Amino acid sequence: MTIKEYISNKFQSFGIQVSEADLLDISFSANVILDDCISFDNLENVIVALVQYVPFLMSRPSSVSESGFSMSWDKDALLSFYNAMCKRYGLRNELDANSPKIRFL
């Protein structure tokens, strides 16, 4: 399985269709090539980059309907995945509303 397929399949399980631009952003962040095979050596970098991209996806609408065609995705499930992965990899949770904020006056 290629890295491109892995990322696409990972998001597809939440009902999210990622664009080529999304895939490129994630691959650049992970410092990998999309056509390379996913392996034990690059898996952690890919997962961390994928998790760091979730806040950008959360800003998108969770459902779209046009001319009788509709698409939706599970925002709550993606948020649960994001929270778990942030905790697992020690990443800063960008979506935690309860995290302390710093204000510069």
**Domain annotation covers residue 56:** yes
* pTM for the whole structure: 0.80
Query: Considering the domain boundaries, does residue 77 fall inside one?
Result: yes
pLDDT tens, residue by residue, 16-73 = 889 999 999 999 999 999 999 999 999 999 999 999 999 998 887 777 777 777 667 7
Whole-angstrom distance, CA of residue 74 vs CA of residue 55: 14
Tell me if 43 is assigned to some domain.
yes
99 assigned to some structural domain: no
- pLDDT tens-place string over residues 67-79: 777 667 788 899 9
* Tally of structural domains, the chain: 1
Structural domain that includes position 30: 3-89
Residue 31 maps to a domain: yes
Nearest CA among 22, 13, 5, 29 for reference residue 91: 29
User: H helices within 13-90, ranges in order?
Assistant: 20-30, 40-58, 75-89
The answer as to whether 102 is a domain residue is no
Residue 104 has pLDDT above 80, yes or no: no
